Amino acid sequence: MARVRTGVLISGRGSNLQALLDAAADPSFPAEIVCVISNRPGAGGLARAEAAGVPALTVDHKAFDTREAFEAALDAALEHQGVELVCLAGFMRLLTPGFVSRWTGRMINIHPSLLPAFKGVDTHQRALDAGVKLTGASVHFVSAEMDAGPIIGQGAVPVLPGDDAAALAARILEVEHALYPECLRLVASGEARLTDGRVVLTRGAAPRSQLLNPPARS
C-alpha cells in the first residue's frame, strides 16, 4: 500500500518534527515525510529535515505583502512536492480560512493543552493559574477557528505540586512526541475518520493507557 505523502510546516526548532521523522523512518509507517517547510529562514527544524534526507524548504512570510500571497506560495510548494497531508509542528502563523478550506480534512496540528481548554498561547502558565490538576496535549484537524478542529487524540499530564511553566512544558513535550506520530499514523492509515464533524477511530480497541488516547501501539 502506498504511503501518504506528508509535508510538515514548522517555524522553530522542530522537536515534534523529529518525532514525526523518526516514526516515518520505518518503511511500514503509513505516512512518508516528503518535505519540511519553514516560514522562518534558519529554523532549527530545517537541519533536522536535512539530516533525515528530507527536502528542507523555506517560504519566508516576510517576503510577501499579504497573508494570501504567502499562503499561495506555501500552497504551491506543497503541491510541487505532491503533498497529500499536512502536519503543523510549531508553525507560528495563523492560516486564512481560504488556505484551511483547501486542505480541509488533510491538515492536522498539535496543541499543548487538553482542548478545548486553553486555546492559543501561554497554555502552561494559564493551566497553572487556573489550578487544573490535569493538562496535556491534543492533536486535531485544522479548522478556520484557531485550535478548534475535530480532535484526533489527546495525552494527559498531571500538574504536580511545585510545577512552573517550564517544568510542565517539558513533561507535556514528552507526551507530544508520542502522541503526534500515533495520530498521524491513525489519519494516514484511515483508522481515524472524520464523520459529521467528529473523529471516529475505526480500530475500536480499548485504551491501553489512561494518559494517551488513542494509545500508542507497542
- pLDDT (tens digit per residue) in 6-31: 999 999 999 999 999 999 999 999 99
Q: Decide if pLDDT at 204 tops 60.
A: no
Architecture in CATH for domain 1-103: 3-Layer(aba) Sandwich (3.40)
b vs e for 169-207, b when ≥16 Cβ sit within 10 Å of the residue's Cβ?
Answer: bebbeebbbbbbbbbbbbbbbebbeeeeeebeeeeeeee
DSSP state, 203?
Answer: S
Smallest CA-to-CA distance from 54 within 23, 32, 76 is with: 32
Domain extents for the chain?
1-103, 113-138+153-218
Q: Exactly one of 61, 80, 111, 124 is catalytic; name it.
A: 111
Mean pLDDT, residues 163-175 = 96
Is residue 64's pLDDT more than 60?
A: yes
Return the ∠ at Cα 61 (arms to 59 and 65), rounded to 5°. 125
Please, which pLDDT band fits residue 211 given cuts at 50, 70 and 90?
very low
DSSP symbol at 146: T
**Could you confirm whether 111 is annotated as catalytic?**
yes
Question: Same fold for the domain at 1-103 and the one at 113-138+153-218?
Answer: yes
Helices (H) then strands (E): counts for the chain: 6, 10
CATH of 113-138+153-218, one of 2.60.40.420, 3.40.50.170, 3.20.20.70, 2.140.10.30: 3.40.50.170
Cell numbers representing residue 147 in the block: 485550535
Q: Compute the distance between CA of residue 217 and CA of residue 181 in angstroms, rounded to an integer.
A: 11
C-alpha cell at 25: 523512518
Q: What pLDDT does 206 receive?
A: 41
